[in-house]
Amino acid sequence: MKRALFPGSFDPLTLGHYDIIKRGVTLFDEIIVAIGVNSDKKYMFTLGERKRFIEEAFADEPKIKVVTYKGLTVDFCKEIGVDFILRGLRNPADFEFEKAIAHTNRDLAPIETVFLLTSAQTSYIASSIVRDVIRNGGDYTKLVPSSVKVN
């Protein structure tokens, strides 16, 4: 069974993330969306809210599982027996950053990273942009799945 881990903070889940996960499901038997916990980071949404956004967005997709984890992504992959990390690329800067991480991960464990290019319609969307739109009262609903709701 081919399983892939799609790690991130998902603060919040965006249409870009959604697109990569939906396309990843066609390549793997299971996608584990893994929300990394970093105690040094300030999040806009709680861990519970972020997990719920993802679970609700993929409620009808049995091949997608949502978990949380702490520590190195490759260590978590080894712990749960996953051989692939799935990542999305929006632009050349993403590629250079992700390439360095992929090489480091491969040095630490026999984990392969699979890259998917984001769709043209979502390539400009980043969680940081969505948070800025939300903070400033803009219409964030065009950038995220309908499961993402701001109180």
Q: What's the sign of the alpha-carbon dihedral 115, 120, 122, 125?
A: positive
Residue 141 CA to residue 61 CA, distance in Å, equals 22
Q: Which of 3, 17, 50, 87 is catalytic?
A: 17
> Any bridge partners for residue 65, and if so which?
32
Active site residue 103: no
Q: Which of 22, 78, 90, 99 is catalytic?
A: 90
In sequence order, what E strands does the chain have? 3-8, 30-36, 64-69, 84-89, 112-117
Active site residue 17: yes
Q: Which of 3, 50, 87, 127 is catalytic?
A: 127
Which amino acids are annotated catalytic?
17, 41, 90, 127
